[in-house]
Structure 1
Amino acid sequence: MRAIQVGDPLPSVPLFEKFPGNEVLLADLIGTKKAVVFAVPGAFTPGCTRVHLPGYVDAYDKLRSKGIEVIACIAVNDPFVVTAWGNAAGATGKIRMLSDPRAEFTKAIGMDFDARPLLGTVRSKRYSMLVEQGKVVQLFAEPDGGGLTCSLAPNLLSRL
């Protein structure tokens, strides 16, 4: 599967928010708004918990001042874990914490990698993207899939 690229629309693959039955289509959630979407390999993992998610929580006001209307985090975990992680990180009310429990969205955009040796299953590469009108306008995918450089909030903010 080809990785999503600038100019591509978001796929209509369900994600989940808070509960397994609460389906969210990212394309519908964003609609015609300007949004930031970022993904992590897993909730409660060290880099994701210490750096990636907190950076977006801390940058919330700056992102909003730049016209960002929706900020969404995607993790390949069940919705209960993703919600608990968001609550623990202070993301509630700022960042939409979305679960991709079977990595279906992640695979549909070609951002999956085999993390079985470390995390037990397929996970998402670390990336961030700016989405406008339902299409990817900017994309920052970590070259190794898991690093903590170009997908972080300060990098994305510097490009807005």
Structure 2
Amino acid sequence: MAPIVVGDSLPDGDLAWFDESDQLWMIPIHSLAAGKKVIIFGVLGAFTPICSMNHVPGFIESAEELKSKGVDEILLISVNDPFVMKTWAKSYPENRHVKFLADGSSYYTHDLGLELDFSEVGLGIRSRRFALLVDNLVVTVANIEEGGGEVTISGVEEILKFL
């Protein structure tokens, strides 16, 4: 499947999320993005070094600025189970705005065309690093990294240039 690009409609799909009271929900992405301006960013995996020390903290630290520029939701997607994502989210006690969404079976990542196969190093199917700016379900920015390495175009600094 070809990766999602600018002008595409955001596919719908259910992602797992634990709310503040530790209730597990299966949330259709359209319910979070319809009629709103949202950032959806994807990472290789929970607790991986670059994701944990660079990619995710950038969005958490810039959340207020993103919100002040009209962003309604900041959504993080990773191919991990929801319990891992809940624990990872709790490792950022300063986080008030980024929702940690689990795509445990990588179905949604597949629908976005953003899968990476890291089976040869024991990680299985993962997500490419990416950052999408979506306005009322239409992709207006699609910053997709080539591999799972460094954060270049998928970091918060690049998204801020478009707001």
TM-score, normalising length from structure 1?
0.94
* Partner Cα distance (2:154, 2:115) in 1: 15
Residue 101 of structure 1 aligns to a residue whose secondary structure is coil
Instruction: Give the drift of 1:62.
Output: 0.7
Equivalent pair of 2:60/2:95 in contact (CA under 8 Å): no
Of 13-22 and 143-152, more deviation after overlay is shown by 13-22
Please tell me the residue identity of whatever aligns with 1:64.
Answer: K
Please tell me the residue identity of whatever aligns with 2:16.
Answer: F
How is 1:47-58 mapped onto 2 (pairs within 5 angstroms)? 47-58=50-61
Task: Return the match for 1:43 from 35, 46, 59.
Answer: 46
* Partner Cα distance (1:49, 1:5) in 2: 26
2:73 aligned partner: 70
Structure 1, residues 22-80: CA drift from partner, whole Å, max 9, x if none? Answer: 11111121110101110001000000000000000000111011100100000100001
Equivalent pair of 2:34/2:137 in contact (CA under 8 Å): yes
Report whether the alignment pairs 1:4 with 2:4: yes
Stretches of structure 2 that go unaligned for 5 or more consecutive residues are none
State the identity as a percent: 33
1:14 aligned partner: 14
Instruction: Give the drift of 1:21.
Output: 5.5
* Partner Cα distance (2:133, 2:149) in 1: 19
2:147 aligned partner: 144
Instruction: Give the drift of 1:91.
Output: 5.9
What count of residue pairs does the alignment treat as equivalent? 160
Please tell me the residue identity of whatever aligns with 1:7.
Answer: G
TM-score, normalising length from structure 2?
0.92
2:63 aligned partner: 60
* Partner Cα distance (1:91, 1:14) in 2: 26
Instruction: Give the drift of 1:3.
Output: 0.8
Of 15-24 and 98-107, more deviation after overlay is shown by 15-24
Instruction: Give the drift of 1:83.
Output: 1.3
Task: Return the match for 1:113 from 96, 116, 139.
Answer: 116
Equivalent pair of 1:125/1:146 in contact (CA under 8 Å): no
What is the root-mean-square deviation of aligned Cα atoms in Å? Answer: 1.6
* Partner Cα distance (1:26, 1:87) in 2: 22
Equivalent pair of 2:12/2:30 in contact (CA under 8 Å): yes
Instruction: Give the drift of 1:122.
Output: 0.1
Residue 55 of structure 1 aligns to a residue whose secondary structure is helix
